[in-house]
A and B are shown apart, each in its own frame.
Chain A
Amino acid sequence: MMKRNAAPPTGPRNGSSTIRSKGGIQKRRNGPVRVDKDGDLDMEATNEKSKAGKGRLDAPSSSRGAKAGRGGNAQPRNSLVTQKAQQAILRGLSTDQASIRESRISKGNVYLKVDGLKSSKAASNPDGGIANLLSFLERKAKPVNPKSSKKVKIKKSSKDGDSVIITTSEEDSEAILKLNGFNFAGSDLAIQITTAPKLSSHGKKGEKKEVSDETKELQDKLKGILSSRYDTSLKLLNLSNLGADPGLIAIGIFNETTEDVSKLFPALMKVCDSIFTTKAQKREAIVSVSLADNSLANVSPVTTLAQTFPDLKNLDLSRNMLSDRRALEAWRWKFRKLENLVLTGNPIETSDPEYGPDLVRWFPQLQTLSGIQVRSPEEVAEIIEKAKSPIPIRGADFRDISQVAENFLRQFFTLYDTNRPQLAAAFYDNDSQHSISVNTAAPRGANNSVPTPPWADYIKHSRNLTKITHAPAKMARRHKGVEAIQKLWSTLPATRHPDILTQSEKYLADCHTLPGLPDPTGQSPYGVDGLIVTIHGEFEEDANSISGTSLRSFSRTFTLAPGAPGGPQIRVLNDVLLIRAWAPLATPTHVTTPPPLVNDQQKASIFAKLVEMTGMTPQYAELCLNDTAWNLEQAFVAFNNNKDKLPANAFLAPGTTLQGLMP
């Protein structure tokens, strides 16, 4: 969209001749040309820097010269900027693009002021009669084009004193204006065009147009000023010393007083927002901003910078009036990507010299603060990584009691695949509840092209309560009691779950104890203890097979509790199943460190100790140690957990000494 060959070689304002003829740029040329180069914003773009394409704020040198020659008249060194690059920078600064946007906005809506509601009978309604009035207008207004099937629509309404301001399309506004003088609930309506409700409640059509012309002209001027303050090669927007900008003074916004920054700045940011339509465009075009020499006592006049350029990497606040860290607090949660902040030449250096650590904390990627390195790039990389995955993923958090959950899971999936009636009889009773929900929108990870089999078999049972809102459906999709659960299972496709022992990597299970479960004997009002078990994994189906694969992923949470007399010993109270499209399980990023390899000599010593501690035979001791990776402590715990189950011949005859057994 750039007309590369049309760029005048003199400046970045190609394509906006109006600005050049009457905007501030010409006047700025008459101002003093910035000569010193010892400051923070290095405008002298060398070729090397432009290649790097990175905005760059040089650290202030201690031998900084007089403040005098600085000022806002820093002119981009056009001679150093290639024409091509300028065009690239100014991609968005072309007026063509902006006018399209404007026309779209101004054509869109018309504001109408409706009077007469207050004296109508509807005014005593709870909402003041607005709803009645709006539906009256929509009903009575006849479309201007009688053939149109589109009904007149009021997009928005708001109250302004006793008047109601409504927003409609231009076409609809004509239809509604014809209702001027109509009688509504005993009152005559007065309808007229007005300006946007927030600007003013008075005004006529002509005035409104004038305002927008004026605004547009001002926006064009500001655009011109912005473009002259933009350095393509550095991707730097130099907003330093705005109060002395002849262009801004010429517009009349500035009376050479800096208080006006708070009025001007948001307008400048608005213009920037209109130039760049996406965050990515902004990030690409503007890496650095200088707000040096603006006499800022705090950042509130310029706080909108953070909304317009949230991804800024370099920010220069040199030589303002910032006297403590509170002056910057408005940006505490902003600029999450700021790498370089310059506060040199502010009173804060002497009045609040300990500001450093706080600012480092406020800006998580800050590397350089007023020329001093505060974080290494590696540290920042680590912070970024941590921000993307703040809760490290670890292996199972399986706090089982007497292997109840483990034994349950071992049997559950095998039985679910092979014999569901037996499963229901073994673990479910008449208090057991089961329901299935389907998340068809679950993320599947990058590069996952495994096809998803149709959902029909599950969707009809899905109790996803974000979608199922009617009470009867909620009731019907909750299956209570062995019979109901077994009935549901008989309608579901046959499944194949991976073997939980040999393919444990395909599962991830957590469990812990849970108090307050219903006591089936009714003896304890405070309930009984049980377990909550959540397991994530995958299964295959024979039905619904698509080209050989029919994988799905699931998460399933059980509450396990002591069963009632005569029923299963351990019963499932709740069984909530969630099914989603297949995706491989996220692998733990923080694997528990494998136990250090144990050499033979250490093994012999561990072995001897275990035999001595437990009285087990060498064969059993070795089995036990092999199971626990030769960790003496774990082996002893395992022994204690299982000693009741060990056969008598697992123990040495009393009086046997280890020495006699050693080869």
Chain B
Amino acid sequence: MSNPSEDVEVKVASEGAQNFIDSYYAALNSTGARTGLTKFYIKPTPTAPAEADISMNGNVFANPSELQDLFEKQVTKAQYDVHSFDCQVINRNYNVGADESMLGPDKDGKKMSLLVLVSGAVKYGEDGDERGFTESFILVPNWDALGPKAPKGLKKFLVASQNFRILV
């Protein structure tokens, strides 16, 4: 096995980022779907005990549940609009949290970690002003979705780091 070719790398990365952005912001924009917000994030395991690192406007969240809580209780309504995003591969063979049997490279790009930078506008509440935001994510493989026996329909990438800023 070998690492993915550059073509595969770029294709899988941009598709992964696109899928993530489409579903993540849709979840933030719908009051009903926010209850599933934690599902976008990595979960601590014995081999990789760290929670996702979430920093929003300089506020550090201890874990994704805290963020979900904020969105469920404080954010009555939100409308995020993504104007642009870009994505680069960080590590073609990311192994944090991977099972020992999976340490080798994957030519299909399923083991990549990604850096995604998003720029857009957000409106909170009914009469909120349109604010500009920039958000960067580190996406890493969802180990539960890899392997021949993995259930279908799981998210392929999960958030390991998130840095959000209202800028305007």
Q: Identify the A interface with B (CB < 8 A).
A: 311, 333, 336-337, 364, 384, 386-397, 433, 435-446, 462-467, 471, 474-475, 478, 508, 510, 512-518, 525-527, 532, 534, 536, 553, 555, 557, 559, 573-574, 576, 578, 580, 583-586, 588
Contacts and interface: CB of A to CB of B under 8 A. Distances in A.
Interface residues of B, number: 66
Contacts of A516: 90-91, 94-96, 113, 140, 160
Contacts of B48: 515
12 contacts: A386-B74, A387-B76, A391-B59, A433-B88, A438-B84, A442-B121, A446-B129, A474-B14, A513-B53, A515-B48, A557-B117, A574-B115
B83 A441 contact: yes
Given A336-B77, A397-B58, A517-B91, A580 B132 contact: yes
Contacts of A386: 74
Interface in B53-102: 53, 55-60, 70, 74-78, 82-96
A557 B136 contact: yes
Given A443-B121, A534-B136, A526 B95 contact: yes
Interface string B26-63: 00000100000000000000001010010111111000
B129 to A, nearest CB: 7
Nearest to A582: B168
Contacts, number: 206
A553 B168 CA distance: 10
Contacts of B146: none
Contact of B59 (A392, A508, A517): A392
Given A364-B76, A442-B83, A583-B168, A384 B125 contact: yes
Given A442-B119, A471-B7, A573 B90 contact: yes
Given A397-B55, A433-B88, A574-B88, 11 more contacts: A388-B125, A439-B120, A443-B132, A445-B168, A446-B129, A465-B85, A471-B7, A475-B10, A508-B167, A514-B138, A515-B96
Contacts of A559: 90, 115
Nearest to B17: A465
Interface in B134-161: 134, 136, 138, 140, 160-161
Interface centre among A395, A433, A466 (most CB of B within 10 A): A466
B107 interface: no
Nearest to A441: B83
B88 A576 contact: yes
A515 B49 CA distance: 12
Contact of A580 (B70, B88, B89, B119): B119
A615 to B, nearest CB: 35
Contacts of B124: 387-390
A463 B86 contact: yes
Given A438-B84, A442-B119, A527-B94, A536 B166 contact: no
Nearest to A474: B10
B67 to A, nearest CB: 9
A465 B90 contact: no
Interface in B109-128: 113, 115, 117, 119-121, 124-128
Contacts of A573: 90
Contact of B53 (A391, A512, A584): A512
